[in-house]
Amino acid sequence: SVKEISLSSLLIVVILRLGHWNFGACRDSFFNRTVAAILGNLAAHGVEHVHWHTANRMLEVAGLLARNAVKLRNGGPSRQPSLGEAAEMHRSRMVRSLLTSLLRLVSSCLRMPRVSTNTQLIYALQKNYPPQFTQLEADPELGPPLMHVRTATDWFEAQCPATDDTDLDVEAQIARLQEASARLPAELMTLASVAGASVSAYAETEDASAYFLPSVWEAAQSKLPDHVCWSSSTAKS
C-alpha cells in the first residue's frame, strides 16, 4: 500500500491513470488535451515532495509514451492518408501532447528550489532512466525538457552514484542527494528555464476549476472503479 503520500502526488497518479485509460478505452483527443493541460499547469507552478510511487509512475508512463513517440515520429504520408494511417496520426498527436506536458512536469520538479524536496524523483531517474529519452533529445519540442532532465540526472549521478536497493542504502542515498542539491550549478538552471519556456498552461483562477478538477475527478470516480478504492465521503469533499 502507498502511505504518507501528498495530495499533489496523489493527483498526479490519478491524472496519469486517467490518461492511460483514455488511450486504451476511447482515445478521446479533447480528454487527452485536458489531462495534458493539468500536467502543464502543475509544471508551470511546481510540485514538491514527489512521492516515490508517483516518481516511478511518472517515469513509467513517460517511458511508455516516449517509446511510442520514437515509433511514430516519422510523420504522416504526403498523400491523403488511409483510415488506418489517419488513426495512427491521431494517436501520434495525442502521445506527443501528453508526453510534452509530462516531461515538462518532470523537468520542473528538478529546478531550484524544488529539487531539494524531490530527491525521490532523482533517485528514480538514477535507477530507471528510460532509454527512449536519449533518442528524443534532438526533437525541437521534446528535446529541451529531456536535455535538462538528463543533464540533472548525470550531475547527481556524478555527485552521488546510485546505491543498492536495500532500505538502508536507499535512505542514505536520498540523504546524499538532498545534501548535493544545494550545490546544483547555475548552468542547470539555464537549461531548466529553456525547458519550461514554452509551457502552455491554461490561465489560473482562484478556484479548482482551473485544473479541470471537478470534471476530471468525476471521470476518475466513474472510470477507475477497478483500480482505486474510493471512499464516498472523501471523494465528495
Q: What pTM does this model have?
A: 0.79
CB of 118 closer than 8 Å to CB of 110: yes
Q: Please write the tens of the pLDDT for every residue from 25-34.
A: 888 888 888 8
Q: Give the pLDDT of residue 95.
A: 92
CB of 124 closer than 8 Å to CB of 55: yes
Length of the chain: 237
Closest among 161, 155, 133 to 145, alpha carbons compared: 133
Residue ranges of the chain with per-residue pLDDT less than 50: 197-205, 207-210, 227-230, 232-237
Q: Give the pLDDT of residue 127.
A: 93
Residue with C-alpha cell 515509433?
Answer: 71
Determine which helix (DSSP H) or strand (DSSP E) holds 40, and give its type and residue range. Answer: helix 29-45
Distance CA 39, CA 111 (A): 16
Residue with C-alpha cell 516516449?
Answer: 66
